[in-house]
Amino acid sequence: MKLCMVGTGYVGLVSGACFAETGQTVVCADIDPKKIQVLNEGGIPIFEPGLDAIVDRNVEQGRLSFTSDVPAAIREATAVFCAVGTPPRADGGADLSAVDAVAKTVAENCQREMVLVLKSTVPVGTNARVRRIVKDAPFPIHVVSNPEFLKEGDAVGDFLRPDRIVVGCDADDAFAKQIMSRLYHPVSLDKDRIVWMDPASAELTKYVSNTMLAMRISFMNEIALLCERVGADIHAVRFGVGSDDRIGPKFLYAGPGYGGSCFPKDVKALVHTGRDHGLELELAATTDRVNDRQKGVLFRKLKSHFTDLRGKRIAIWGVSFKPKTDDIREAPALTLIDALLADGAEVVAHDPEAEENAKKLYGDRIRFVEKAYEAAEGADALCLLTEWRQYQNPDFERLKSSMRHPLLLDGRNIWSSYGLRAQGFTYDGIGVQST
């Protein structure tokens, strides 16, 4: 069986390469010839640990290839995965124009009975919408909803060792079930990980999962602010709450707000879906508002230390929205940088992987340095935004001797137990009681 992955962004490239790793013959297609050129020349347009090795290995063994001729790739395929972007519109809803275009291209070029798999994150009703687009195709096209649950930085492992695989299709669609079962069989050898459901439920599951995780983060961020007011420690609260088996320890870390390509977009999309159907999803809407406010937490802390930031040199460690990725979309660091520039501060930044993406956004308005310690030289404050491993236990004596003011703003609370105040630093975390 030949598989076509339409879209070579994060989801499409990771999924296509991993399907090839399981033995499938996969063609990744994209209308952007520059992306395809980079891939055909051996480059990887995104940073994802382990992905380069999988791509190289499967290209070399002939299981994975790349093309900008999307119709030709579709004509050869029995299963076509739609992994194109669904960016948010101004009203918070998802822009489905790229999904519609893929559906039309599939309908015009299918050469056999086939499955069209919606891998993109799409609102409820998209499966039905796509079915209407492909209904007059010359061969039957079975439309399946299969939302992705890949974490940036751990995507390869998430695909090859999934905790569940959500598949939405008609209960009596034997053809689609056979194809999807076969495709995911190699990653379900120890147990069947496919969770079968109707398409609408599958579409909603993705939004609900991400929004529930986002709620946990926003709630703990609010509690961290309360900890600062009442003299409690968010670490102790987190341990106490997370030890409850009904709650568990994940996604309970306070920080400068969530970012990335999923949580912000999906929370907004779920709220929009509710409003489309006459329902105000108040918890989801509040989650979004709390996160927007939390992204300004480090700037507010800086303003509490300096009455005037004009001319102050502020060092930033970490620009990506999380470690192990170069993705800066909706990253809390961007909110801080924008506020600092608006206030006339000088920004010097370091990030192991996200520098190029940030330069595309800011140009020469901020200065990037090759080594983390260079950012701290002559700085009036150092702000930690992303908990890359290399930032987690630095040489604090070196930092103190090189900074103009030994002020550390720890957006991830990873330095709170190091006794930094006793070492002569002014230390400020988020909801922590530190020495």
Residues with catalytic annotation? 262
CA distances (Å), origin 23, targets 26, 48, 58, 78, 163: 9, 21, 9, 15, 21
C-alpha to C-alpha distance for 316 and 266, rounded to whole angstroms: 28
CA 52 – CA 14 distance, rounded (Å): 10
176 CB burial (10 A radius; 0-12, 13-18, 19+): buried
Give backbone dihedrals phi and psi of 22, rounded to 5 degrees, phi first.
-85, 0
Per the CB < 8 A criterion, the answer to whether 334 and 258 are in contact is: no
Max Cα–Cα distance, the chain, nearest Å: 75
Beta-bridged to residue 43, according to DSSP, are: none
Helix axes 282-294, 263-276, angle to 10 degrees: 150
The H or E element spanning position 29 is strand 25-29
Helix (H, G, I), strand (E, B) or coil at 400: helix
